[in-house]
Amino acid sequence: MHIGYARVSTDDQQLHLQLDALTTAGCTQIFKDEGISGAQVQRPGLDAALAALTTGDVLVVWRLDRLGRSMPHLVSVVHTLGAQGVGFQSLTEAINTTTAGGKLVFHIMGALAEFERSLIAERSQAGMQAARRRGKHLGRPLKLTREQIAHASRMVREGMETVSGMAALYGVDRVTMYRALKRGTETHIARRG
């Protein structure tokens, strides 16, 4: 059985074009989501369509972007369908995973998506390493400057103030001050050694 899924992102858009194409493709049941972005995880129409599918069925969409939020998400959904013995068909892109050619095209697209993810990860790692070499702090901004940490360390070490007192002075939590002092001490020891 062919089960269709149609989606429009805004309430102003119409489903007529998709519904006509899905009906022409032989879909006996069509589930729809209106006014729901593809980026949303919860899509009631899609959830109902996926629940209605059984082994041997084919999920049909008008275009690939109607089903997946991204290529990796789309590959994941189609892989899950395949594991359940369910085919997938996209009318506009002429992809049909119930045929050998359709499976090949979809797997090539999946491989390209994985390659793209790998390239993005490599570029991100290279960028972070370059930033570290330039002395940039990565991650969440530090709440205390080096000068503040040095001042707090000196005041606590000389017994003029408590860690809690210094934390209150700089408007940070006591735990934050302890971590900063510990990190400052480790840095100081590393520079001397």
153 catalytic residue (yes or no): no
**Which of 9, 90, 118, 153 is flagged as catalytic?**
9
CA-to-CA distance for 76 and 6, rounded, in angstroms?
19
- Residues taking part in catalysis: 9
